[in-house]
Structure 1
Amino acid sequence: MFQLFLRARLRNLTQSSPEGDQFKVRSPQRDEDTDRQRVDIVMNAIETALQAAEGEQSGLNQRVEEVLARAAVTVGNASDEYLDREPLDGHHQNLFSEEISNGQKRLRSLADSISHFKFLRAAVLSRFPDYKQPAA
């Protein structure tokens, strides 16, 4: 039975097809376009992630600066301010300190992510030297 399948397959391969007996491939231009589209997809994903991270970093940096300014105002400027500070002011200082700490941790994390995304972009560009980024 297996030989019947082989004979039928052999007969299909040896008979001429309506398109002819030649092996055909796509044009080189079409192959280049396909390759460029694939790299475009990767580069667009990297650029989107990079822009989102940079936008978040910029906004968060502004908010941390605002909290630092508010915290500086509530601290006071006397040398013994911490001795007779109102409990409510002390509570606000603790909240500001926690917000600043969390914001700075996130800013460090974003800086790491941004450097990684930039490395990925450079790696893709080094692996595909003929790739030209589309003009924005």
Structure 2
Amino acid sequence: MKLVAVELTGVQLQEQNFKVRLHVDNPNDRPLPIKSISCTLQIQGVQVGEGKSTEPFTVPAHGEAAFDALVTTNVIQSFPSLLPRLLSSVQQGGMPDYVVSGWVNPDLAVVPPIPFSHSGKIEIPASVLSLQPPQI
């Protein structure tokens, strides 16, 4: 699974909503109908969001498909524990780690949900890291 695009779709005080475009490959010789995908996003070990696919789709045999997932974050809740970890990572010359993990729920009676996990590094602009947490 690979991240293709992220679009901010709504912002409220307690919640931020994104439409995330993901790409998935099917190495099998049969089409793979997907009922749903659910996932969580962690940055530097802090869970910052949860998401789910917007509608069922099918990945063709030996093919690929792109789909949209709706991801909800709560920056106010995660920012106090996330900011020190981000700063520490950047000050040590590194890029913050992220992990997207979850379940693919095939639309096949005999196939159970399939776990997945993908990790990588995020380049965070210095201007973002200079923000102060909101006072509540």
Structure with the higher helix share, 1 or 2: 1
TM-score by length of 1: 0.20
TM-score by length of 2: 0.20
Structure with the higher strand share, 1 or 2: 2
Of structures 1 and 2, the one scoring higher in RCO (CA 8 A, sep 6+) is 1
Q: Which has the larger radius of gyration?
A: 1
